[in-house]
Amino acid sequence: MEYSFKSAIHTMVKHTFLSLILVLCAGTTFGQKNLQNYQLYNAKGKPSSFKKMVKSAKKHELVFFGELHNNPVCHWLQMELVKALHAEQSVQIGVEMFERDNEVDLQKYLSGAIDIETLDSLVRLWPNYYTDYSPVLEFAKANGIPYSGTNVPRRYASQVYRKDFAALDSLSTEEKSWIAPLPIAYDANLKPYQDMLSMMGGHGGSTLPKAQALKDATMAYFTLKEWEPGRLFIHINGAYHSDNFSSILWYIEQARPATEMMTITTIVQEDIHTFDQEALGRADYYLVIDEDLTTSY
C-alpha cells in the first residue's frame, strides 16, 4: 500500500513537471509570436476575413489584386480568390505578367494549340513564372476561364523613358495595337507619379513616371477591351499599379466613369496584428504579411 501511494505521488509529480515544461516551452517557442503569416484588413484598417473579402468582390465589376511580385502569400491568396469567385459566378483574369505582343501565343497555349515548352520559347515569361504565376494560369486553362495579358511590351516603356511619349508616334500600326491608343493621357499630379519622382530624388527625370503611365494606360485599356460585361474581371498586378485607387484605375475612370472597382493591396510588416494607419486610403482590402516570410527571389 505504501509502495502504491509513493508510486502514485511520483507519477503525479512527474506529470505535473512535464506539463509545466510544456507550458514553458509553449511560452518561449509559440507564446512570443503567433505563427500566422498574414492578416486581412478592410478599408478602415480593421481586421477582416477572406470570406468578407470574397463577398465584397462579388459586388464589383473589376477587382485589382495588388501584389508584391516575389511574395508567395500573394500568389496563394490570388489562387484562393480566383477559386472562390469562380465557384459562385462567371469570372475572367487579366495579368500584368504577359505583354500584349505575346497575347496570340498565350491564347494558343490556353486553347491547347501549343504546349508549355513551346510557349516558353515564344513569349517572355517572368523569371518566377513557374513558381508564382503558372498555378493561376493553369487553373484558368483547366476551367475554361478567360485569361489575358494586359501589359505594354516593356521596350516601349523604355523608349518613353528615353524620348518621352513622342517616341510612340513612329511605331508601326501593328506595334500601336499593343499599347493604349495615342495620345496617352497623362496627369503628372497623380500621387503614384509624384511619389516616383520623390523616390528617385529627381534623378529619373520627368519621363520616368510617363513610362509608368504608359504601362498603367495600357493595362487599363486592355482590361476594358478584354472584359466581358456580366463577368467579374480579376486583374493581377504589382500593388503600385492600383494603390490609392490611381494609376490603372484612373485610366479606367477616364474611359468608363462609374465602373465598380475594388482593390486589394499588399503590405509587409513586423507585426501583422496591428495595422499601419499611414496606409489608410490605399485600398479597399489590405493583405498584411509577416516580414519574416521567405520570398521567391
| Residue 12 in grid coordinates | 503525479
The DSSP call for residue 265 is E
The DSSP call for residue 47 is B
**CA distance linking residue 177 with residue 222, whole number of Å:** 10
Res. 34: pLDDT tops 80: no
Q: Tell me: the pLDDT tens digits for 54-100?
A: 999 999 999 999 999 999 999 999 999 999 999 999 999 999 999 99
Confidence at residue 241, expressed as pLDDT on a 0 to 100 scale: 98
Q: What is the share, in percent, of the chain residues with pLDDT greater than 90?
A: 85
Q: Tell me: the pLDDT tens digits for 210-263?
A: 999 999 999 999 999 999 999 999 999 999 999 999 999 999 999 999 999 999
**CA distance linking residue 110 with residue 116, whole number of Å:** 10
| Residue 284 in grid coordinates | 479597399
**CA distance linking residue 184 with residue 214, whole number of Å:** 7
Q: Tell me: the pLDDT tens digits for 90-140?
A: 999 999 999 999 999 999 999 999 999 999 999 999 999 999 999 999 999
What is the residue extent of each domain of the chain?
1-32, 36-290
Q: Which CATH code is given to the segment(s) 36-290? A: 3.40.50.11550
Q: By the 8 A CB rule, do 148 and 222 touch? A: yes
Q: Mean pLDDT in the chain?
A: 90
pTM: 0.88
Confidence at residue 219, expressed as pLDDT on a 0 to 100 scale: 99
Provide mean pLDDT across the span 45-60.
98
Confidence at residue 200, expressed as pLDDT on a 0 to 100 scale: 73
**CA distance linking residue 78 with residue 72, whole number of Å:** 10
